[in-house]
Amino acid sequence: MRRLLLSALGAFPAGLRAAPTGLNGHAVRGGRPAAAPDDGLSGTGGTAPAPDRHRPSPGRGRGDTVRAWTELFRVSALFSVPGDALAGAAAVGRSPGRGTALAIGASLCLYEAGMALNDWADREEDAVDRPHRPIPSGRISPYAALGAAGALTAAGLALAARAGRPALAVATGLAATVWAYDLHLKHTKAGPAAMAAARSLDLLLGATATATATSTVYAGTGPGPRATRPMRLGAVPSTGPDNVARAVGPARSLLAALPAALVLGAHTYGVTAVSRHEAQGGSTAVPLAVLATTTALAAAVLATHQRQRPGEPATPGLATTAPGSSYRPDHPQHPAPPAMPDFSAPPPGTYRPHHHPQHPAPPAMPDLGAPQPGTYRPSHHPHRPTAPALTPLLLTAFTGAYLRTAGPPLLHAALNPSPPLTQRAVGGGIRAMIPLQAALAARAGAPGSGLAVMALVPLARSLARKVSPT
């Protein structure tokens, strides 16, 4: 009995040494737990996923599901969207209103639709380059991502329709550009141009929706006095109460907002060109070229901030509706057209010998420096607002923030074109859109809108630490 007990006790340590396990379920060798497969991130800075990383199992919890959707939608980049509509409203001289809010909602929906569609279209490519993305990792199914893209596109178009037919037309073009880019144009040479067109259309959507809603308020409904809304300096007025006249406002708004849209589109073109190398890296010329473009855009914004705003005459004496007249039919302070001068009466100061029998004094010389009746005088109207004195300072600060956000990451990517630094340059370019939008709003005479846009910068920066914008 003792011999059997001793033999059993002697066999137990041998078995323990043969197959022990640690707390994580992996084999223990040499008295220490064997290293588990690396579940972290490989590469410089921890931005490239390890090839043998475990894929998270779908449906592990509500928190994991929410995080998967936030990664799919790249919610940290969402703060670069509202500034498009605000800059568009400022470009046409309008204060933000109901149309601007509808444009922001439509832009957010179409932007997120493009994010979901982008990951659905790149699911096979991401399975190799980015297996940690929500679709390749199995956290979100491809059908769910595609369905979300379709639903968000429909919601964006519905919101744009509430802002009017012109806004719906611009939103339809924007949605078509987004889908064409994600499904085909992304991998062609036309990819950066398509993305730039989408961002420009987003700004034009804000301008059109704001002008359309304001024109509707000006037109009024039914008999009686028309409802009026204050117009900011440089506003583009509508020309009458009928539908044809109201349609002129949005058409002119597109032309007025086109310069700002081109500036934003040029920046987007550069960011998209850099993003085409973020998975493999290796491009030095592209970040350098985009850095030069960024500097040129900042200089252009600063150089043109003192030009006349849309709807304002280029030279004194010229008006927006007719030469020699400042009459604007929709302005609350101009209820009636100016009186036509009596051409049959002699001009003021004319010597008339039969007018007074005594001729006590010689005729007064006319004041050649005084404006003629009906002449446009910018400083004459007592209710016309003026740009705040701090606008040039705010414009300089916003433009400096734009250069500070986009410039250094591009320089680092040019010096070391590795995937992590290239991805950081792309993220910096996305966040730099916010101060650029603020600068465009301030240049158009809306420093309040610029400050509202800049208030999104801390939110975007803090959220970018949790969810990557690329």
- The whole-number pLDDT of residue 391 equals 86
CA 172 vs CA 112, 155, 156: distances in Å: 15, 12, 9
Compute the average pLDDT of residues 196-225: 75
Residue 180 pLDDT greater than 50, yes or no:
yes
Q: What pLDDT, in 10s, does the model give residues 224-264?
A: 443 444 445 444 444 433 333 343 466 787 888 999 999 99
Look up residue 467 and give its two tokens. 């969810």
CA 104 vs CA 82, 96, 123, 350: distances in Å: 5, 11, 29, 60
In terms of C-beta density within 10 A (0-12 exposed, 13-18 middle, 19 or more buried), how is residue 72 classed?
Answer: buried
Comparing CA positions, the residue from 167, 178, 168, 75 lying closest to residue 120 is: 178
Q: If pLDDT is split at 50, 70 and 90, which confidence band does 404 have?
A: very high
Residue 368 pLDDT greater than 60, yes or no:
no
Residue 361 pLDDT greater than 70, yes or no:
no
Q: How many residues does the chain have?
A: 470
Look up residue 370 and give its two tokens. 């005084």
- The whole-number pLDDT of residue 470 equals 72
Residue 376 pLDDT greater than 70, yes or no:
no
For 110-119, 208-217, 241-250, 443-452, which range has the lowest pLDDT when averaged over its residues? 241-250
For 121-125, 247-251, 323-327, which range has the lowest pLDDT when averaged over its residues? 323-327
The average confidence (pLDDT) of the chain is 74
Q: How far apart are CA 341 and CA 93, in angstroms?
A: 32
- The whole-number pLDDT of residue 65 equals 87
Q: If pLDDT is split at 50, 70 and 90, which confidence band does 199 have?
A: very high
- The whole-number pLDDT of residue 190 equals 94
Look up residue 54 and give its two tokens. 């475990």
Look up the pTM and report it: 0.67
Q: How far apart are CA 150 and CA 282, in angstroms?
A: 35
- The whole-number pLDDT of residue 277 equals 83
Look up residue 84 and give its two tokens. 């498009």
Q: What pLDDT, in 10s, does the model give residues 436-459?
A: 999 999 999 999 999 999 999 988
For residues 55 and 137, the answer to whether their CB atoms sit within 8 Å is yes
Q: Kindly give, in sequence order, each residue whose CB lies less than 8 Å from that of residue 319, ignoring residues fewer than 6 positions away.
A: 313, 325, 326, 327, 376
